[in-house]
A and B are shown apart, each in its own frame.
Chain A
Amino acid sequence: MTTTATQDPQDRPARERASSSGVSGASGTSGAALAALPGVLSSALAWTVAHRTRFALPDDVLEPHTQVNATLKPLGELAQLGSTIRRTTAPGTPEHERAGDLVTYAWEQVHEGALLLELLRAEPFAAYPYEIYAAFAGYGLRHEGFEALARPLTATRAWAHTEQHANRQLGLVNSERRVGVVTHTDAGGVLSRTWLGGLSEPWMFEGPSGYALTHTVFHLTDWGRMPDRVPEKIDGYLRTWLPAWADGCLESGQWDLTGELLAVAASLPGPAPAELLDAVWPVLADVQHPTGCVPETGAPVQDPAPDPYPFIDCYHSTLVTAFAAALSLRSLRSPGQTDGSPPGRERRTA
Chain B
Amino acid sequence: MDQTHASSPLAGAVHDLATEVVLALRSGDHLATVCGAAGIDEENRTGIAAVRVIGADLLLPSVLYGRHPHPGDVAVLDRAVREFPPKPDAPAATAWSHWHMISTLQRMAPPAPGAAATGTYAEPDAAWLEEAPWQAFTHQLSVLAPLAVPAAPSAVQRAAANRAVDLARGFVRAVRRRDWLQAAGAGRWLAAIGGEPATLGLDRGLDFVELMGGHDPRVALHVRAARLMAEARAR
Taking the closest CB of chain B, its distance from the CB of A191, in whole angstroms, is: 16
Give bound CA distance, A9 to B176, whole Å: 13
CB-defined contacts of B54 to chain A, threshold 8 Å:
4
A345 touches B197 (CB 8 A): yes
Our pick among A3, A251, A348 for the contact of B164 (Cβ within 8 Å) is A348
* A350: Cβ under 8 A from any B Cβ: yes
What residue in chain B is nearest A248 (Cβ atoms)?
B176
Nearest to A5 among chain B residues (CB) is B143
Interface locus among B61-69, B106-114, B178-186: B178-186
Q: Chain B interface: which size bin? A: 35 or more
Q: Return the contact of B133 from the options A25, A202, A248, A348 (Cβ within 8 A).
A: A25
> Which of A35-43, A91-99, A109-117, A235-243 lies on the face that meets chain B?
A235-243
Please pick, from A4, A199, A203, A345, the residue contacting B171 in the complex, using a CB distance under 8 A.
Answer: A203
- What 1/0 mask marks residues of chain A from 195 to 214 whose CB sits below 8 Å from any chain B CB? 00001111101100000000
**Chain A residue with Cβ nearest B136:** A25
Q: Which of A211-252 contact B (CB under 8 A)?
A: 237, 240-241, 243-245, 247-248, 251
Contact A201 B204 (CB under 8 A): yes
| Partner pick for A6 among B10, B164, B182, B201, CB 8 A cutoff | B182
* Count class of interface residues, chain A: 20 to 34
A244 to B205, CA, bound (A): 15
The answer to whether A3 touches B53 (Cβ under 8 A) is yes
With contacts A4-B53, A6-B181 taken as known, whether A201 is within 8 angstroms of B200 at the C-beta atoms is yes
- In the complex, what distance in Å separates the CA atom of A248 from the CA atom of B185? 19
Contacts of A24 in B (CB 8 A): 135
The answer to whether A25 touches B132, judged by C-beta atoms less than 8 angstroms apart, is yes
Kindly provide the distance from the CB of A193 to the nearest chain B CB, expressed in whole angstroms: 17
A-side contacts of B194, CB under 8 Å = 349-350
Per-residue A-contact encoding for B88-102, CB less than 8 Å = 1, 0 else:
000101100100000
- CB of A4 within 8 A of CB of B218, answer yes
> With the chains together, A163 CA to B148 CA distance in Å?
49
Contact of B197 with A25 in the complex, beta carbons under 8 Å: no
Mark A residues whose CB is within 8 Å of B.
1-6, 8-9, 24-27, 199-203, 205-206, 237, 240-241, 243-245, 247-248, 251, 345-350
Shortest Cβ-Cβ A-B pairs, 9 listed? A201-B201, A25-B136, A350-B194, A6-B182, A203-B175, A25-B135, A244-B172, A244-B169, A248-B176
Q: Please, could you name 23 A-B residue pairs with CB atoms under 8 Å apart, sorted by A?
A: A1-B93, A3-B14, A3-B53, A4-B14, A4-B53, A4-B143, A4-B218, A6-B143, A6-B174, A6-B179, A6-B185, A8-B139, A201-B200, A201-B201, A203-B171, A203-B175, A240-B165, A244-B172, A251-B177, A347-B198, A348-B195, A348-B196, A349-B197
Q: Which residues of B contact A (CB under 8 A)?
A: 10-11, 14, 52-55, 91, 93-94, 97, 132-136, 139, 142-143, 164-165, 168-177, 179, 181-182, 185, 194-201, 204-205, 208, 218, 233
